[in-house]
Structure formats: structure tokens, C-alpha cells
């Protein structure tokens, strides 16, 4: 177990208020120089329970209400403290961490959460396969028990950050004769293990954010299994619900994100305006603001529990808006909007939607309706699990 400083003892006091947390941050900063080594500072912040205040005591948190996290983050930001570069490890922070907290063993939580949060270990998601993307439960990657190990064979695709990842969250079929949702087991995969091969997938933008991952007799100890054998689908649902919130529910200020790029262009280039385009800009601005407020409300609801199927609606709206806004920007710019600045093959740590050209944004936004659950699948989730409509006919039933 990591050494815990005396702030953990202070954290046991049940009076978790905004002022109390600001006091804890001030006391922490009096003992830890934010201008020092980034990793050491972030490790100490985790040990002090000031990483994610809603996490359990001893695991980076204070067991405090989730809605108080911005209080802590703002206090550290005002002091010029380094953050953990969350977009660089969005899968680890947004998907792996909540899944491990809910379903992992005490040993797994102690081993993985601290270096995950500090950014020392990057994570990827090994779910989608060439023949099992939208129909995720149809996956074919196999895991066969061999003593205290599992031997994994198969292929994964569209894996963000696999080329940088130390660990991956993996779904594999362990009972091939069981109904497809019941024969899956959830693992943590060592991305440095023999038999793991990562190949880049070049995209429409010229970059290769994504990868295909080949698993050839990869041996994983049973200690890396998360949840019960053949119960991986239940564990995976926790990951998927958090994924959709992580993709579509990031907190933004008004006119933050891609809508801000479009509105700045509209204000700064009056010669491009037409009456028809004015109406379209107004429509997407209203939709973007409604989506932002809906995502904010969802994050507030999360303070009271786990994410549910409502996150699918946020992600669906995000994908549709990104494509509409980027298309409108290209239309506004005309021929200039078609000029792509760089087709070079690169391996970015994250897509730079705001710092590139309109053509790049247009091309990259095409993937928003596929990654993190296709828009078609999300509409089915919303229809069945939010609106309560009759279930879609399924062949396996």
C-alpha cells in the first residue's frame, strides 16, 4: 500500500465543504512545491486524497461528494500546479478507473489507480474487433485458462493510444458455447507482454490516432481478471456508460469547443456572411448551448451515483453537433475551407480539433459518430433504456 500522509487522517473528518477542501489544498501546497518535479507532486496529491475527492480514502480521494472536485482543481490551478494531462489518458481516467473502483479487487485498485491518475501509466481500450464493433458482444478474441494464467488470442481494432499504453482493458470470450453476453470475461492486459503487437491505422486526416492490436498467445495472470469469469459483460457496461460520458460530457464554458471556432469565424469575417448561413449558425449555436447545459446537468446527476444510459444521449448529441459545426465552417469558408494543412503520417496523443484547419476538423469529425459507440447503437440504447420503447428484434433471442 502506498504511504499515506497525514492529510488522509484529516480527510476522515466528515465535514467536507468547499472551504474545508480549499484549506486542505492550501495545507498541501505549503508542504509541496508545485514548481517541483511533476510526477512527485502528482503522486503526493494522490496520496493526500486530493486527486479525485469522491474516490475512497487511501485511493486518491476523501469519500467526499463528487461535485466538490472542481473546487479542488480550481485551487490547484490558481497556484500554478501541474495537472495530470487528462486528455492524454482519457481512457484510463474516464473508463478504466471507475471500472476498477466498482469491480476491481483491493489489490488491483492499489496497484493501478495511483500511476493511472498521475499519468505515469497510459491505458487503452481493447474492446472493438474487425467483426464486433457495434455488436460488441459478438467478439471472438479467446481467453483459455492455463493454470494460474489465461492465454489470449485474437485481434482488436480502433484502439486509441495502444502505441503509448502500458495497460489495456480487455474483453475476451471465455465460454464460447454460452450465450454471447454471458461468456465474456474482463481483463487488464499488459501491453508489454510477449505476443502483443500494435500496428497503426492511418485515418482520413492522414494521422494515426488509432491502432489495430494483435494478441498471439498472450499470457495474463488470473490476478489481472476484473470481476468473475464469464461476467465480463456486466463489468463492461460500467466502462461503456463512463466512456460515453467521458466523450460527450466534458465540462465546457459557453462557446467552448468547436462552436467557439465557428462563432469567432462568423464575427471576424463579416464578408463571409449570408442570410441563410446566419440562420444555420444560430441553430447550431442554440443546439450547442443546449447540449452543453445538458452535459452539465448530467455531470451534476453523476454526483449522486453511477452514469446510466442517459450518457448515450450526450455522446450522440456531441457527435452530431461536431459534424454539423465542422460542415458549416467549411461551407462558410468555401474553397479555403477545403485546404488541409498537413497529410503527414503522425501518431498524435490526442486529436487537435481546435488548433488545426477547418478541413481537418471536418474530416476528423466523421469519426465522432463511430468511436465510443456508433450513433445507430446509441439511438437503440436511448429508445429501449431511456424511453422504454419495445426492444429491437435480435437474432440471438
Query: Is residue 228 within a helix (H) or strand (E), and if so which, with residue range?
Result: none
> If you search the block for the grid coordinates 489495456, which residue do you land on?
168
Residue that is written with C-alpha cell 460530457 in the block: 249
Q: For residues 135 and 247, what is the distance between their CA atoms, to the nearest angstrom?
A: 20
B/e letters for 26-51, b = 16+ CB within 10 Å, e = fewer, are eebbeebeeeeebeebbbbbbbbbbb
Residues 200, 216: Cα–Cα separation, whole Å:
17
Catalytic entry in 121, 207, 209, 243: 243
Q: Residue 221 forms beta bridges with which residues?
A: 149
Cα–Cα distance, 122 to 67 (Å, whole number): 26
Say how far apart CA 166 and CA 192 lie, in whole Å: 7
Place of cell 499488459: 190
Nearest-angstrom CA–CA distance, 302 and 260: 26
Q: How far is Cα 224 from Cα 235, in angstroms, rounded to an integer?
A: 14
What is the SS3 string spanning 105-131?
A: CHHHHHHHHHHHHHCCCCEEEECCECC
Closest CA to 19 of 72, 83, 82, 73: 72
The answer to whether 121 and 43 are in contact (CB under 8 A) is no
Q: Can 243 be counted among the known catalytic residues? A: yes
Catalytic positions are 243
Amino acid at each position: 500500500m502506498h504511504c499515506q500522509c497525514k492529510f488522509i487522517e484529516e480527510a476522515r473528518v466528515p465535514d467536507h465543504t468547499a472551504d474545508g477542501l480549499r484549506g486542505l489544498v492550501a495545507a498541501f501546497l505549503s508542504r509541496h512545491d508545485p514548481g517541483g518535479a511533476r510526477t512527485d507532486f502528482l503522486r503526493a496529491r494522490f496520496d493526500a486524497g486530493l486527486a479525485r475527492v469522491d474516490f475512497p480514502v487511501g485511493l486518491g480521494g476523501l469519500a467526499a461528494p463528487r461535485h466538490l472536485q472542481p473546487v479542488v482543481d480550481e485551487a490547484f490551478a490558481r497556484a500554478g500546479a501541474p495537472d495530470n494531462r487528462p486528455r492524454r489518458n482519457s481512457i484510463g481516467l474516464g473508463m478504466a478507473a471507475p471500472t476498477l473502483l466498482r469491480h476491481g479487487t483491493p489489490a488491483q485498485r492499489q496497484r493501478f489507480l495511483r500511476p493511472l491518475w498521475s499519468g505515469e501509466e497510459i491505458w487503452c481500450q481493447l474492446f472493438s474487433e474487425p467483426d464486433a464493433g457495434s455488436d460488441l458482444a459478438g467478439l471472438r478474441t479467446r481467453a483459455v485458462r492455463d493454470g494460474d494464467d489465461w492465454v489470449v488470442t485474437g485481434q482488436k481494432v480502433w484502439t486509441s493510444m495502444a502505441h503509448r499504453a502500458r495497460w489495456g482493458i480487455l474483453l475476451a470470450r471465455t465460454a464460447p458455447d454460452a450465450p454471447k453476453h454471458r461468456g465474456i470475461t474482463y481483463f487488464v492486459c499488459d501491453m508489454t507482454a510477449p505476443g502483443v503487437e500494435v500496428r497503426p491505422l492511418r485515418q482520413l486526416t492522414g494521422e494515426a490516432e488509432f491502432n489495430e492490436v494483435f494478441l498471439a498467445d498472450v499470457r495474463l495472470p488470473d490476478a489481472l481478471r476484473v470481476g468473475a469469469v464469464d461476467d465480463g459483460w456486466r463489468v463492461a457496461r460500467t466502462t461503456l456508460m463512463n466512456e460515453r460520458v467521458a466523450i460527450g460530457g466534458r465540462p465546457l464554458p459557453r462557446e467552448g469547443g468547436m462552436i467557439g471556432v465557428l462563432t469567432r469565424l462568423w464575427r471576424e469575417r463579416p464578408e463571409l456572411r449570408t442570410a441563410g448561413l446566419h440562420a444555420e449558425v444560430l441553430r447550431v449555436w442554440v443546439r450547442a448551448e443546449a447540449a452543453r447545459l445538458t452535459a452539465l446537468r448530467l455531470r451534476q446527476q453523476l454526483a449522486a451515483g453511477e452514469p446510466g444510459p442517459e450518457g448515450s444521449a450526450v455522446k450522440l448529441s456531441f457527435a452530431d453537433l461536431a459534424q454539423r459545426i465542422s460542415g458549416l465552417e467549411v461551407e462558410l469558408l468555401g474553397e479555403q475551407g477545403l485546404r488541409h494543412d498537413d497529410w503527414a503520417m503522425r501518431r498524435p496523443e490526442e486529436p487537435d480539433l481546435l488548433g488545426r484547419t477547418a478541413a481537418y476538423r471536418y474530416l476528423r469529425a466523421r469519426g465522432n459518430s463511430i468511436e465510443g459507440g456508433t450513433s445507430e447503437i446509441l439511438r437503440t440504447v436511448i429508445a429501449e433504456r431511456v424511453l422504454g420503447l419495445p426492444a429491437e428484434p435480435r437474432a440471438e433471442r
